[in-house]
Structure 1
Amino acid sequence: MLVVFGLTTGEFVVAGILPDVAGGLGVSVPAAGLLVTAYAAGMIVGGPVVTVLTARSSRRTLVVGLVGVAVAANAWSAVAPNYASLLAGRFVAGLVVATFFAVGITTAVGMAPEGGQARAVARLTVGMNLGMVLGTPLGTLVGHAVGWRASFGAVAVLVLVALPLVARAVPGGGSALDGVSAVAGLRAFADRGVLAAIAMTVLGNVGVVMVFSFIAPLMTDVAGFSSGAVPVLLLVYGAGAVLGNFAGAWLADRALMPSVAGLLAVLAGVLGAGWFAGGSRVAAGVLVFVLGALAFAVIPGLQTRVVSSARTAPMLAVAVNASGFQVAAAFAGWLGGRVIDAGGGARGLYPVAAALTAAGLLLAVGVLVNDRRSSGRAPVVEAEALEQV
């Protein structure tokens, strides 16, 4: 959780110090914005590539190595002499994130007691919540007070502090892919269940990520808040996210796919309600909290579904899933801009986000129905397997 907190802070803190970075390196603000793109590109590429290349490493060796690279890349970002070297540092920092997240989740799920897998995922992913709502503003304050380089240096120190804790907690022995070759692991993606689980993550999140990406204009232009209220509203979103993270895990441990489908249905409804109620300050304030709660309530269940679907190579599947989430986030930012430019204004994001989430809901319902049909055939399949043995 501490490492995830540090890595998430490192990802989002750039947004708060962009003008400082641009001024310090003598580049434009749009050019400095490419530092965010470089980090995301590293995550997208690193998810499948780094995981496959490190398939034969033991879990503990892999985790220590990934954390070590993250420390080095953030430390380099703090001392990078020019723009090109900083851009390279952010790309390398992003390369290890998806694989670390994957090995962290699969290790947590493997160590958790039966019926507690989703809660184990929630304890790890709460680091994302805290990184967004606590680490990012703190890192921004450090950057403004001491200089933008100090923000990256603080992330490096934080992750370095977590390194011995991670090395002690992660079990040693066994390969990262649990003895499965990289080629065999890739075959897991021929399974429609694995592809459906990853697609649910993308479709289930892209709508609410689009709304979050444009939360500032939604709150100022549509709801009528002042720009000074946006940081407070982000804290409200984060408070909902922390609560929803653990509530969603509790639901997923009791009924995985019914809870995922139910949460996506409520999320689609709330996003649709934003079109009607988003112009009221009171309603918008409540909406921000509820959206934060629902957006993160669905994550433990979706991640647990990916792990349980890809039994032959769960870590690789989670890494690809994390990369898929970054692709969804990039698409959400692009689509949101097109919606606003098309004349719908920021308010038009709500119905589009609701429709995208409804598509994720339809997929979840299909998976749920298929699960129930398959469970009825389980005794026959088991008998056939025993006969083959």
Structure 2
Amino acid sequence: LTIANILGVPFGTWLGQAFGWRATFWAVTLVGIAAFAVILALVPREQPEPQKSNLRADLAVLGRAPVLLGFATTVLGYAGVFAVFTYIAPMLTEISGFPEAAVSPILLVFGGGLIAGNLIGGKAADRWLVPSVLGSLIVLALVLGLMTLGLRSQVLAVLFAGLLGAAAFATVAPLQMWVLEKAEGAGQSLASSFNIAAFNLGNAAGAWLGGVVIAHGPGLGAVTWVAALLPLSALCVAALALRLDRAQALGEPASVRT
């Protein structure tokens, strides 16, 4: 996924600028057809019998308050990323003053940040899960907020493109491990799948929110600081989840925990 962002996003941007936005979608279609052919040719047709799961128990895990709060944290955290990334090209051209041809190379810098953030976030989540969840959300909010000022300078705009990539992917491993920990064994696979869906829901919600800010005010230049409010909201949700955990550990009544 990291390499796909490094290579695919700049190439898709260049392709759209050179041949129109439809060309990017046709390219994705061709890649999909090629991937389908490779899977059909190379993936073994005979598979071992899958281990049966208890659907009722799996669904019960998804209904736990800590798991639902984990999903909400993921949605809000990543909505902030895509509220900005969806509109990064017009930000770079209209606010920072870059020519369109410069957007793809700058997105390579973003991709380099993804690699760094992925490595840092994964290592941190292995050692200090809760601090890495809270810390990555704080860093993401700071990067998004300060990017409002950084876009006014071309040098800082390139720097913040890389920082945004690093901050964005530094949250992925901690948020995923956070939900897996809340799922506690049974239903972890389903919870993990739902958390990936939560990332994508955050992508869609962030893109929509960014569009609202642009279309109805206060405008393109405000998208970054509005986006910064989303990981801060995710931080509040994560804090609530931690409070529920502490209450449960102390054996407080259910009315207090909820």
Distance 1:149 1:226 in 2: 25
2:216 is the alignment partner of 1:342: yes
More relative contact order, 1 or 2 (CA 8 Å, 6+ apart): 2
Q: How far apart are 1:318 and its partner, in Å?
A: 2.2
User: 1:337: how far off?
Assistant: 1.3
Letter in 1 for 2:32: V
- Preserved CA contact (<8 Å) 2:110 2:162: yes
For normalisation by structure 1, the TM-score amounts to 0.56
In structure 2, do the counterparts of structure 1 residues 181 and 304 end up closer, same or farther at CA, with 3 Å as the change threshold? same
Paired residue for 1:361?
A: 235
One-letter amino acid matched to 1:305: W
Tell me the distance in 2 between the aligned counterparts of 1:346 and 1:262: 27
- In the alignment, structure 1 residue 330 sits paired with structure 2 residue 204: yes
1:276 to 144, 149, 164: 149
Counterpart residue identity of residue 242, structure 1: I
Q: Does the CA contact (< 8 Å) of 2:79 and 2:207 recur in 1?
A: no
Matched, 1:321 2:181: no
Relative distance call for 1:150 and 1:330 in structure 2 (3 A) is: closer
- Residue identity opposite 1:248 in structure 2: G
Which residue of the partner structure matches residue 289 of structure 1?
A: 162
1:1-389 pair list within 5 angstroms = 128-136=1-9, 152-158=29-35, 160-161=37-38, 172-175=48-51, 179-310=52-183, 311-371=185-245
Cα shift at 1:365:
2.7
More off after superposition, 356-365 vs 366-375? 366-375
Distance 2:163 2:191 in 1: 29
Letter in 2 for 1:155: G
CA distance in 1, matches of 2:10, 2:32: 13
Separation (CA, whole Å) in 1 of partners of 2:152 and 2:100: 15
Query: Would the aligned equivalents of 1:257 and 1:364 in 2 still touch at CA under 8 Å?
Result: no
Q: 8 Å contact 2:58–2:187 — kept in the other structure?
A: yes
Q: Aligned residues: percent identity?
A: 37
Measured on the aligned residues, the alpha-carbon RMSD in Å equals 2.8
Instruction: Give the match's secondary structure for 2:152.
Output: coil
Residue 275 of structure 1: CA displacement?
2.0
Report if the CA contact (8 A) 1:267-1:294 is conserved.
yes
Distance in 2, matches of 1:137 and 1:280, equals 21
Matched to 1:260, the amino acid is V
**Equivalent residue, structure 2, for 1:24:** none
Q: Deviations along 1:146-202, whole A, 9 cap, x unmatched?
A: x8767534433345546787769xx94542xxx432233212122111101111110
For 1:331 and 1:305, the matched residues in 2 are separated by 21
CA contact (8 A) 1:258 1:368 kept: no
CA distance in 2, matches of 1:281, 1:157: 38
Q: Distance in 2 between matches of 1:165 and 1:242?
A: 29
- Relative distance call for 1:204 and 1:228 in structure 2 (3 A) is same
- Whether contact under 8 Å (2:11, 2:104) holds in the other structure is no
Report the Cα distance in structure 1 between the residues aligned to 2:147 and 2:26, rounded to whole angstroms. 39
Note closer, same or farther for the CA distance 1:287–1:196 as it changes in structure 2 (3 Å cut).
same
Alpha-carbon distance, 1:363 to partner: 1.7
CA deviation vs aligned residue, 1:41-84 (integer Å, no higher than 9, x gap): xxxxxxxxxxxxxxxxxxxxxxxxxxxxxxxxxxxxxxxxxxxx
Task: Tell whether the 8 Å contact from 1:243 to 1:293 is kept in structure 2 after alignment.
Answer: yes
| C-alpha distance in 2 between matches for 1:136 and 1:173 | 38
* TM-score (norm: length of structure 2): 0.82
- Structure 2 Cα separation of the partners of residues 190 and 304 of structure 1: 18
What is the CA-CA distance between 1:361 and the residue it aligns to? 1.2
Unaligned runs of 5+ residues in structure 1 are 1-127, 378-389
Q: Which moved more, 1:359-368 or 1:219-228?
A: 359-368
1:273 deviates by 0.9
Q: Please tell me the residue identity of whatever aligns with 1:296.
A: F
| AA of the residue aligned to 2:230 | L
Partner of 1:30: none
Q: How many residues align?
A: 242
User: Structure 2 regions of 5+ residues with no counterpart?
Assistant: 252-258
Q: What is the one-letter code of the residue matched to 2:67?
A: V
